[in-house]
Amino acid sequence: MLLMRHALLFISLIFSLAALPGHAQTGGFTLEDWPKTQASLKPIYVKAIMEQAGIHKVSFNKTPDFYVGELDKFFAFAQEKNYRPYLKTSVAQNLATIAVVNCDWNNGVPHWEFAQKYLGDIQLELLKPLYGDAITKLQNNCDQPIAAPQ
């Protein structure tokens, strides 16, 4: 029941992000638009998404700068693999995916349990080439540190 409530809050979060500045107000601010976004605006968008999530009782430990970098990497990954669904999905939803995978979507539901409901096995498998270590940590309910990049 609690998981369903949190999932519904998450869905309402995604639909309520129309309050973002600029072209994001149209609701069509997708990952495909991300690289065309002025660099100085990216942290503002990310911060607004994170603040909106906070209204829905979701908190983050990582910084907006972390998410700006991850969204840049996620765009390159999705484009290279031709994962059109990610490219056509809102920046807010992709940020949520990144946060869930990186054990940073804190909504009171155990991380792995929420990831399974929100992302599912197929999406987690698709994300392994980019987030393999993070997904391993996630599967251990975020108790295991992520290996340092080599």
Residue boundaries of the structural domains of the chain: 2-139
Closest CA to 92 of 9, 25, 13: 13
- Which residues have CB under 8 Å from 64's CB, separation 6+? 43, 46, 47, 50
Contacts of residue 1, Cβ cutoff 8 Å, sequence gap at least 6: none
Specify the amino acid at residue 24: A
Contacts of 90 (CB under 8 A, 6+ apart): 14, 17, 27, 28, 29, 30, 31
Point out which residues pair with 30 in neighbouring strands: 90
From residue 5, how far is each of 8, 11, 90, 116 by CA, in Å? Answer: 5, 10, 22, 15
The encoded tokens of residue 54 equal 């906070």
Residue 20: per-residue pLDDT: 41
- Rg of the chain (C-alpha set): 15
Q: Which pLDDT score, from 0 to 100, does residue 99 have? A: 97
Look at residue 126 in the predicted model and tell me its pLDDT: 95
> Can you list the alpha helix ranges (DSSP code H) found in 56-119?
64-80, 84-87, 91-101, 111-118
Per-residue pLDDT at 143: 82
Per the rule left: phi > 0, alpha: psi between -120 and 50, beta: everything else, 27 is left
Consecutive sets of 10 residues in the chain, 150 residues long: mean pLDDT of each?
Answer: 46 43 57 96 96 94 97 97 94 96 96 95 95 95 62
Torsion over CA: 68, 70, 74, 80 (sign): positive
